[in-house]
Chain A
Amino acid sequence: MFSGIRGRLTVIVGVCLVCLWALLGPLLKGEERSLKLGLDLQGGTHLVLQVSDPDGAMSAEARADAANRAREIIGNRVDQFGVREPTIQRVGVDRIIVELAGIQDVGRAKLIIEQTAFLEFKILTDGQDFLERLSMLDSVIVATLGPEELPAEAQAAAEPSLEELFQRPDTVEAEPSRPAEGRPRPLTRILLESGEPGVLLVEGPQVETVERYLGLPQVEARIPDQIALTWGTETRSVAGKIYHSLYVVEAQPLITGEYLTDAQATRDPQFGTPIVPFQLTRQGGRIFERGTSRHVGDRMAIILDGRVQGSPPVIRDVLGDRAQIELGTGATLVEAQDIALVLRAGALPAPMEIIEERTVGPSLGQDSIDQGEVAGMIGVVLVILIMIGYYRFAGILSVLGLLIYVLIVLGGLAGLQATLTLPGIAGLILSVGMAVDANVLIFERIREELAGGKTPRTGMDSGFQNALSAIIDSNLTTLITALILYQFGTGPVKGFAVTLSIGIVASFFSAVFVVRTFMLVWLETRSPSAELSI
């Protein structure tokens, strides 16, 4: 059926119709454009996240599993964030690519994507278990680090610090194991009583030192298992200095966020501060009820990603499947909305870190499209002028073939849902060059055959025949390169490889099949004796 001219024309019309449908179909369905534009063209953010595993504690399977679940959860979050057509895919073992088109507030988007959103409720202790051991921890720190490792002022005796500013309970004063004056007390010195049981204060610049001391394995080993020390999000400023709170909480949570079904952001009707009321499952509600019933009158720390949110509220009554997170005075409603969003979408199985980030502003993207279009048009016009100028009527046929080639490439890109990137446009224009090359090979060969004394009909046939092997070899080797680029490349390079591959296939079809068909039609309609215009 492909041998007759009628059959050939049917194939060409069919291919054109399929490509037109691929191009116009999405438009009929109400989509804005049928070609998906890359972030470099429309503006947006490209992020690569990796499962964070600094200690190398996770196996490859565990990381792959974590990445898989994280992909779903990040997908949920991005959906709720309201991004149109986001791309979220897993690559390699433990990486996720997130592409967000047209995002303006990149910082906020990153925060939402990166947040682990692990929610825990823990009872605030009175802190005695920890305070009792403070002097012992001091000696452990001195013994571990050696006296010369300690900051100079820590070696001096304690001075009265916040005692005048905060009402200080007697507990610490009366502590029996209080060390003798003059002994270095590196930790005790920088941990200040807040006046609230279980809450300590640390001056801003000292936070790192405290973290370092508490992170020592020898220190960790001497802190009782049933308590945990957790930093809060709120800071207090007293007499021009900023203080961070450190909470002594029960290590075992009453409940975690896995039972959460819904969370919304709103404002506290009484104080106007942002709050996030949430709803637990029925099972979660029962667990929470049992837990809180034992702790009426105690304070409960609400911990998100290892940080106590706001000031721990007092449990006044047994709580069921409803409760709320109070964010404190400094927080905005947008922050509350983002917390509600990540809570609804679920916690990440492991923390993720951003290892690659590319952002293109929308104006730059538009510039690129405009410039790409202008350059593309000029390039195409040049090709048309050269081909028609040099090959005359055959050149016109090849330009018609090129138009069909362009239609196939665009239809192919739309049909495969490929993304058109800036290097992609370059690949497209380059493959126009390859399509031209195939035509040039054929026409030159036909000229040779005609010069060798063949009739137009046989000259054309053997021209196509003899040019074919060179075209196949050159197209296949370029296709090999394009496929390797696709395999190894990321982002922009992949876009280049896709358009180049589609371009090669389309150019082969256009030059070898379409142009030949046109030439067959041409031979049929002209007088047999006339010279070929080539």
Chain B
Amino acid sequence: MRLFSSADYKFLQMRQTAYIVSAVLIAIGLISIALHSGLNYGVDFTGGTLFQVRFNEAVAAADVRSALGGAGFTNLQVQDFGREGEFLIRLAEFIEAGDRELALRVDGTLSERFGQDSYTVVRTEAVGPKVGGELRQRAVGAVLISFLLTLLYLGFRFEWRFGLAAIIATVHDVLITFGVISLFNVEISLPTVAAILTIIGYSLNDTIIIFDRIRENLKKLRRLPYIDILNRSINETLPRTVMTSGTTLAVLLALAVFGGAVIREFTIVLIVGVIIGTYSSIFVASPALLEVERRSGGMRSKTDRRRIAASTR
């Protein structure tokens, strides 16, 4: 069995459509972010306290909310989590050093309303406001530095035009991923940042495989117009793209379905990212390479210029 073995799709000719699709996806994401008035940062980045509470019997989130609200907790979020009767309770307050009052107050309120043995607090996360700010800075720093180093590496292994095109595709992926995160109201936590960085890695990986083939074909097929080389390279690597994306998605789906609530958001972000990353390496990275080559034809030989000029037709 061999899929797409003689594929000959005119991917680059579809780039106008792809630009519109990408623009629409990015716009939807940005509108969603604007409507949610920013992203939903978790306690990792805002500071605050999170309790995961597991009730023995089904309890409505509204009851938990009203019990805690009645006890004077303002700025309170109660969210269903995983199975029935399990909730995430988020408070803007941070358990101050040595002051276990907040945890005790939450515990006291819940046991008063629902009974002492009807629930267990299975997870607590408390992050001080200062730490939250720092973690946010570090996350942004990590993304920017990984961009920079990748650009340097690609500049060293290929040439800067390839690096620039790859970064354009990656920025595209990150923008859309943030949009999806906002659409599903996924909380931005440390694992979410790890997922975003993984997507960057995956998308780059996909792009590099195609670029590697483009570089090879540029040397091998000197007479072919640039646009044909791009199309040919994408088509030649298409079986690999489909196989790898397919297996990765199969594993991620298994994780999302059977992996439990704690990592579900993490895997959903990854699944979206893999799909977007595969799309972008075909429909964004290669067109971007074409546009970059066309706009910076300065330092090339006559034949190269001719090949690029022929691509505009």
Contact = CB atoms under 8 A, between A and B. Distances in A.
Interface of A: 40, 48, 52, 106-107, 110-111, 114, 352-361, 363-364, 367-368, 371-372, 374-375, 378-379, 382-383, 386-387, 389-390, 422-423, 425-427, 429-430, 432-434, 436-437, 440-441, 444, 447-448, 451, 466, 469-470, 473-474, 476-478, 480-482, 484-485, 487-493, 496-497, 500
Contact of A353 (B97, B243, B266): B97
Given A364-B52, A426-B255, A426-B266, A359 B194 contact: no
A477 B266 contact: no
Nearest to A444: B240
A4 to B, nearest CB: 30
Given A368-B260, A477-B208, A489-B190, 13 more contacts: A107-B100, A110-B100, A114-B98, A356-B127, A357-B95, A371-B258, A372-B259, A423-B263, A426-B255, A430-B251, A444-B243, A474-B209, A484-B146
Please indicate which of the listed interface residues A361, A387, A432, A470 has the most CB atoms of chain B within 10 Å of its own CB.
A470
Nearest 9 A-B pairs (CB), nearest first?
A371-B260, A353-B97, A488-B142, A379-B251, A355-B128, A375-B259, A433-B248, A375-B258, A361-B122
B280 interface: no
Question: Which of A352, A371, A426, A490: most chain B CB closer than 10 A?
Answer: A426
Contacts of A447: 2, 5, 239
B62 interface: no
A449 to B, nearest CB: 12
A387 B216 CA distance: 27
Contact of B250 (A106, A382, A451): A382
Contacts of B234: none
B124 A358 contact: yes
Contacts of A485: 142, 194, 197
A47 B205 CA distance: 36
A245 to B, nearest CB: 21
Contact of B131 (A48, A352, A367, A440): A48
Choose among A390, A451, A481 the residue with the greatest number of B CB atoms under 10 Å from its CB.
A481
Nearest to A479: B201
B250 A386 contact: yes
B233 to A, nearest CB: 11
19 contacts: A40-B262, A352-B97, A355-B128, A358-B126, A361-B121, A368-B260, A368-B262, A375-B257, A386-B250, A426-B270, A429-B255, A440-B247, A447-B2, A473-B212, A484-B149, A485-B142, A491-B190, A492-B191, A500-B198
A376 B57 CA distance: 30
Given A484-B145, A488-B142, A378 B254 contact: yes
Contacts of A430: 198, 248, 251-252, 270
Nearest to A436: B247
A426 B263 contact: yes
Contacts of B131: 48, 355-356
B209 A360 contact: no
Interface stretch (B31-39, B133-141, B221-229, B293-301): B133-141
Contacts of A489: 138, 142, 190, 194
B246 interface: yes
A492 B205 contact: no
Given A354-B98, A451-B5, A432 B123 contact: no
A512 B39 CA distance: 42
A474 B124 contact: no
B1 interface: yes
A429 B251 contact: yes
Contacts of A382: 247, 250-251, 254
Given A473-B212, A493-B193, A481 B259 contact: no
Interface in B1-36: 1-2, 5
Nearest to B189: A492
B124 A359 contact: yes
Contact of A356 (B123, B126, B201): B126
Interface in B234-248: 236-237, 239-240, 243-244, 246-248
A357 B254 contact: no
Nearest to B216: A466
B153 interface: yes
Contacts of A361: 120-123
Contact of A480 (B153, B250, B254): B153
Interface string B252-282: 1011011110110011001000000000000
A448 B100 CA distance: 66
B288 interface: no
Contacts of B219: none
Nearest to A472: B157
B247 to A, nearest CB: 5
Contact of B123 (A360, A466, A480, A492): A360
Is chain B's interface secondary structure helix, strand, loop, or mixed overall?
helix
A478 B205 contact: yes
A437 B205 contact: yes
Nearest to B99: A354
A14 to B, nearest CB: 29
Contacts of B130: 355
B162 to A, nearest CB: 10
B122 A363 contact: yes
A466 B236 CA distance: 13
Contacts of B95: 354, 357
Contacts of A469: 212
Contacts of B80: none
Nearest to B250: A382
Contacts of A487: 142
Contacts of B198: 427, 430, 481, 496, 500
Nearest to B244: A437
Nearest to A363: B122
Contacts of B236: 448
A426 B267 contact: yes
B78 interface: no
B84 interface: no
Contacts of B244: 433, 436-437, 440-441
Contact of B251 (A367, A433, A444, A477): A433
A531 to B, nearest CB: 13
Contact of A477 (B204, B260, B267): B204
Contacts of A484: 142, 145-146, 149, 197
Contacts of A427: 198
B211 to A, nearest CB: 8
Nearest to B83: A367
A352 B128 CA distance: 14
Given A359-B124, A367-B260, A493 B240 contact: no
Nearest to A364: B122
A473 B201 contact: no
B125 interface: yes
B163 to A, nearest CB: 11
Contacts of A110: 98, 100
A158 B155 CA distance: 82
B150 interface: yes
A219 to B, nearest CB: 26
B201 A478 contact: yes
B307 interface: no
B300 to A, nearest CB: 22
A368 B82 CA distance: 12
A291 to B, nearest CB: 31
Nearest to B259: A375
